Structure 1
Amino acid sequence: MQEKSYAELHRPSSAFESRSDYLEHELQIMQPKRWKANLPFRDYRFEWEDMIPAFAATIGKVVMVGAVAAAFAGPLGLPESFVLENVRYELLIVSLFILLLSGFFLPTANLPGTHGPLIPLIPIIVAAGGHPLALGLLIGVFGFLLGILKGGSLLARLTSNGVCGGLLLYLGFIGITGQVQRLFAWAGGFDMAYIAFVVIIGTILLYALLEHWQKRWLAVPLGCVLAGGTAYLLGAPFSFSTAPGLPPMSPAYWWGENSGWMLGWPGLNEFVAVFPFAVLAVAMWSPDFLGHQVFQKLSYPPKTEKVQMNIDDTMIGCSARQVAGSVLGGANFTSSWGTYIVPAAIAKRPIPAGAVLTALFCIIAGVWGYPMDLAIWQPVLSVALIVGVYVPLLEAGMEMTRSGKTTQSAAIVVFSSALVNPVFGWSLTVMLDNLGLIGCKERSAGLGSMGRWIIPLIGFVVLCAVMAAVGMFPGIPAVLEQFRQ
């Protein structure tokens, strides 16, 4: 007997006792198809809740791509206009990819976002003689190989709840404190630091009320409106300055020797210089992707495995977007799109519907220009990231460490991440956890030799070698620099 289609199983929201029941039923009846057309209304529907992750994702994209472009522009001596035009260009590039991949052909692949942890390394990459196109191409190739070989899902299986929960706790706490500090620094810049305090207190009260009313999926739009409105009424300066327009659309312009990046095309030396950074960037994907997938699993109801984020498909989608975006001239280095998937999971919405709206919002923001000014205004930006990403990550981390022998692993991953970075913390704790030195001994015994020590040990050694090469261990000079001298 043939299984009924999504269209046949769909029922109107009026047939359910609550809105939450309707949304959960939608997730349970969806039947996403890999590498086949998934069409709106035939395979999924648009709901008002899809506006929330799309709105949050667009804000996050403008901010994060701007940060990447600015991190390159400083060391390379590029003008401020380069940053603005490249952000607009990237918004148009990413809109095409999320429409084709997450919206239609890979509905369980999360959107390809921006690789935030790589941003602090960009000045080091430039100083080492790295070329952004060479780095982007190598990230794409390595990520594609990992996705094809299903390495991402393998690493996810080898990561226990304690390790993943500790990682989420660390990322959530660091993210919140970072945004609070940025908000106070912004308000202190014009001697009105109290604005930051009022905005944060208002955000806390709003989030608590939404939690009480079980409307937490509204936290991003209402939080942004509250933060922006409060800051403006209290006297914070703001003005629209980015006029409508289109960026240069030719790769020849962006990779010209006297235009765009002003670097020309990369040679062999540039590829060699960025090799360790590309390995590290793709290694950072696994804990990032795993955290997003786990958060989705915690937020979705039972019997929704078919619509949950597939780590390997997400890696393939991110890799394809990375290669194409770099060749076209974009500044973005991609990873799983956290500012999209976390609010989408909270709102109990599948990936493809919000992906289509995100593409539309990115096009509007890039062409219109003015929404970019609002999205990067500090109170709007900080509150969107806090309530849309970092607080939910904290909640998910605490949920994952509530039962079983998880607290030891969670504590070690937080401790070791604070020492170096989340990649080091994740790889070290996975090795200790799977060896049975911490965490659940019964789980360790059932992994077999490959999962218990061979893969974790090799992964930890390789990642440590790469991090040592680029100078990521505190107090230890970069090995590559020693060889150059």
Structure 2
Amino acid sequence: MKNKIENEAHSKRASTSDSYQALHQPSSAFDSRDAYLEHELQIMQPKRWRPNLPFKDYRFELEDTIPALAGTIGKVVMVSAIAATFAGALGLSDAFVLENVRYELLIVSVFIVLFSGFILPTANLAGTHGPLIPLIPIVVAAGGHPMAFGLLIGAFGLILAFSKGGSLLAKLTSKGVCGGLLLYLGFIGTTSQVKKLFAWAESIQMTHIAFVVILATILLYALLEHFKKRWLAVPLSCILGGLIAFSLGAPFEFHTAPGLPNMNPMYWWGEDTGWMLGLPTVESFMVVLPFAILAVAMWSPDFLGHQVFQKISYPQRTEKVQMNIDDTMLSASVRQTFGSIFGGANFTSSWGTYIVPAAIAKRPIPAGAILTALFCVIAGVWGYPMDLAIWQPVLCVALIVGVFIPLLEAGMEMTREGKTTQSAAIVVFASSLVNPAFGWSLTMLLDNLGLIGCKARSAELTRMSRWIIPLAMFVILTSVMAMVGMLPGIPALLESFRH
């Protein structure tokens, strides 16, 4: 009890001190591991645009390896999905996909260390924009160029970051709207991964494997929840899922040998090498303009969900180490710009497969970011870990327990109090109609107008916050979706104009 009182007093003094080293105490000084980790979050003093050095400004802990592992698995999977989608639409080979994924793993490692690990320690890692994957064939069919697409995303992202538009939109999003988004994303993500695992099991004519793997994962997750060791869910579930599947006869073999990708950007943007597209023209930028606007507009609900999950998982007095939405947008935009110039296939967003497990493990961003960069380099150069990361029994359970189930839990937590259930239900309803960006913008407008949710909150908002900004976001997003054909039952307006 004495230790607990002393530690609490020590944490309160952290707000008036600039020295992390002076406030740090060994884990043996605390009654529990959780108390030590919470104290570390409370005493950190992250510095923007100044060096944040390991052991001086933060430390590495065993818990940092979990989000790093989960993030690396997620990165391999998501970049592979984007590269494969482009390859299919452009008629490129599987060798292109493999080499570009390796290239992206090396590119992202540099920017992780530079931004999240060094000069912007509250910027979440720049991950992959999953919701864009279904749009890629449409972009290619319209004549879009991947470099032009990426450069415009980077430019619009920088505008939003410097204008602090991301944090403004986050402030205008109520708990009910955000909680509904988390519930929708968590449920859709969980069901999609379960379906993928069963589809894989059916393809090898061993459907029972999927059932056994998922049942075992449920029991493991429940036990970890009971013993308050949920931060171990990703590695243990991956090991369990892989071992069960292999022991039941599922085929698996390593086939990606060690090696390095071509590091020359001119190779990737050559006429008959890499993408085989050459450099973009002015027309290429015009074609991808509406898609780039939509991509950046979809960042806000994604970033907001990750920030809120941190707030729910972290203890009090940890505002300084929580993810900064504007800094994350800046980091993602710079990473996107250079990645596209270099020739990478990735389109970036906030790195969910990293930040969610990191929040569960009660760890700040920087140390795990450095380990993620290291793991990405190892995976890219060694090659063999890439095969394991994309094997369905490992991949599916990692995403379910590491990302989607925690999002469901966070959504339920946010909608427990006040008049939040109305807004949450409308978000889910509207997102099911089109997508989460549409659901978020529509429900934010209805909620801020006071038509649903908390009427007292609406009355306290200014005219700009109540309807001008939400209405502008809804109109812009819906117009762009109509242009590219994302509104169900309505033909793409761009195609109509061309004809």
Alignment of 1:96-135 (within 5 A): 96-135=110-149
Of the candidates 213, 222, 231, which is equivalent to residue 199 of structure 1?
A: 213
Q: Which residue of 1 aligns with 2:5?
A: none
Give per-residue Cα distances to partners, 1:172-212, cap 9 Å, x unaligned. 00000000000000000011000000000000000000000
Aligned residues: 485
Q: Which residue of 2 aligns with 1:259?
A: 273
Q: Which residue of 1 aligns with 2:8?
A: none
Amino acid at match of 1:193: T
Q: Distance in 2 between matches of 1:431 and 1:157?
A: 13
Q: Which residue of 1 aligns with 2:383?
A: 369
Give per-residue Cα distances to partners, 1:252-311, cap 9 Å, x unaligned. 000000000000000011100000000000011000000000000000000000000000
SS of the equivalent of 2:416 reads coil
Q: Distance in 1 between matches of 2:172 and 2:80?
A: 35
Determine if the alignment matches structure 1 residue 158 to structure 2 residue 172: yes
Q: Which residue of 1 aligns with 2:19?
A: 5
SS of the equivalent of 2:17 reads coil
Amino acid at match of 1:418: S
Determine if the alignment matches structure 1 residue 334 to structure 2 residue 348: yes
Mind listing any 5+ residue stretches in structure 2 that lack a counterpart? Answer: 1-12
Give per-residue Cα distances to partners, 1:352-378, cap 9 Å, x unaligned. 000000000000000000000000000
Q: Which residue of 1 aligns with 2:162?
A: 148
Give per-residue Cα distances to partners, 1:42-67, cap 9 Å, x unaligned. 00000000000000000000000000
Q: Distance in 2 between matches of 1:198 and 1:185?
A: 14
Amino acid at match of 2:266: A
Q: Distance in 2 between matches of 1:3 and 1:391?
A: 37
Amino acid at match of 2:75: K
SS of the equivalent of 1:222 reads helix
SS of the equivalent of 2:309 reads helix
Of the candidates 470, 478, 484, which is equivalent to residue 492 of structure 2?
A: 478
Q: Distance in 1 between matches of 2:492 and 2:228?
A: 49
Amino acid at match of 1:161: K
Determine if the alignment matches structure 1 residue 93 to structure 2 residue 93: no
Amino acid at match of 1:426: W
Determine if the alignment matches structure 1 residue 447 to structure 2 residue 461: yes
Of the candidates 294, 307, 314, which is equivalent to residue 321 of structure 2?
A: 307
Q: Which residue of 2 aligns with 1:404?
A: 418
Residues 314 and 4 (structure 1 numbering): CA distance in 2 closer, same or farther, change over 3 Å? closer
TM superposition score normalised by structure 1: 1.00
Is the 8 Å Cα contact of residues 18 and 45 (structure 2) preserved in structure 1? no
Amino acid at match of 2:207: A
Amino acid at match of 1:56: A
Q: Distance in 1 between matches of 2:205 and 2:91?
A: 31
Q: Distance in 1 between matches of 2:267 and 2:307?
A: 38
RMSD: 0.7
Residues 4 and 130 (structure 1 numbering): CA distance in 2 closer, same or farther, change over 3 Å? closer
Of the candidates 252, 264, 288, which is equivalent to residue 250 of structure 1?
A: 264
Amino acid at match of 1:386: I
Q: Which residue of 2 aligns with 1:76?
A: 90
Give per-residue Cα distances to partners, 1:398-455, cap 9 Å, x unaligned. 0000000000000000000000000000000000000000000010011110000000
Amino acid at match of 1:44: Y
Q: Distance in 2 between matches of 1:332 and 1:4?
A: 38
Amino acid at match of 2:357: P
Determine if the alignment matches structure 1 residue 432 to structure 2 residue 452: no
Q: Distance in 2 between matches of 1:322 and 1:329?
A: 11
Mind listing any 5+ residue stretches in structure 1 that lack a counterpart? Answer: none
Q: Which residue of 1 aligns with 2:307?
A: 293
Amino acid at match of 2:400: I
Q: Which residue of 2 aligns with 1:226?
A: 240
Q: Distance in 2 between matches of 1:458 and 1:151?
A: 13
Q: Distance in 1 between matches of 2:33 and 2:21?
A: 19
Alignment of 1:25-64 (within 5 A): 25-64=39-78
Amino acid at match of 1:390: F
Runs of 4+ in 1 over 3 A off after TM superposition: none
Amino acid at match of 1:280: L
Q: Distance in 2 between matches of 1:128 and 1:171?
A: 29
- The percentage of counterpart residues that share the same residue type is 76
Q: Which residue of 1 aligns with 2:191?
A: 177
Give per-residue Cα distances to partners, 1:116-140, cap 9 Å, x unaligned. 0000100000001100000000000
Amino acid at match of 2:52: N
Amino acid at match of 1:463: L
